[in-house]
Amino acid sequence: MFKNIFWSSLVSERMPYTPEHKARTRARIVECARVMFNRRGFDAVSIDDVMREAGLTRGGFYNHFRSKDELYAEAVMSFGSCNPFAKELAKLPTRPEPRKLARMLVELYLSDEVLEDVTQHCPLVALPSDVARAGLKPRAAYTQVVRNMLHVFRVAFSAEDPEAESKAQVMLNLCVGGMVIARTTDDANLRRSLRSAARGQALSLLADGEGERVRSA
């Protein structure tokens, strides 16, 4: 009987995993990495830490990634599909029109819910100093997150508005800056007022943009 058990385990170890199994394993590694990087930063998290959290061995890491930098880039990019904004959109029967979508992003991004849950923090808020020191792949992934957020704000303004791009950039700066600074203080009232001020200014820009749309129409 021992011989049969030994042989079965030997065969199972040599059998290749299905593509579906490999994809699920990779996704688990990325999710664990994203949460750990958000909580502790890039330098403080090792490959061993991530694989242990995922319930896997270090040797299995290299079946999916060539380096920690590559995993980091993947973790940053994964935020695009697992962030609170994407989850809220998935619940809606139809996609809101651009201005409502931008308002929804501002309000959710600066919300108490997101501030209090570190695992939900956007890489733009949680990882800027890490990414600035990282290699090309993480920085490219981070840049794409910036562009994705800018796009949501940019299309909320009229195509005829010559300041649409700069307004979108200001909105992004207000959202990200408001959250970054709010994360650094232990004063609950200040955390709230900082985000409230950022939210008010960002929504004011949107309201001005609506005026531009009406005038151009």
For the stretch 182-207, pLDDT in tens is: 988 999 999 999 999 999 999 999 99
CATH number of 2-68: 1.10.10.60
pLDDT tens, 49-64? 999 999 999 989 999 9
pLDDT tens, 8-52? 444 444 456 688 888 999 999 999 999 998 888 888 899 999 999
pTM (2 d.p.): 0.79
Where is 86: in which H helix or E strand? helix 84-91
CA 112 to chain CA mean position, Å: 17
CATH number of 81-216: 1.10.357.10
Question: Domain limits of the chain?
Answer: 2-68, 81-216
d(CA 125, CA 153): 17
pLDDT tens, 141-174? 888 999 999 999 999 999 999 999 999 999 999 9
CA distances from 3 to 12, 13, 55 (A): 14, 15, 28
**Once rounded to an integer, what is the mean pLDDT over residues 134-138?**
76
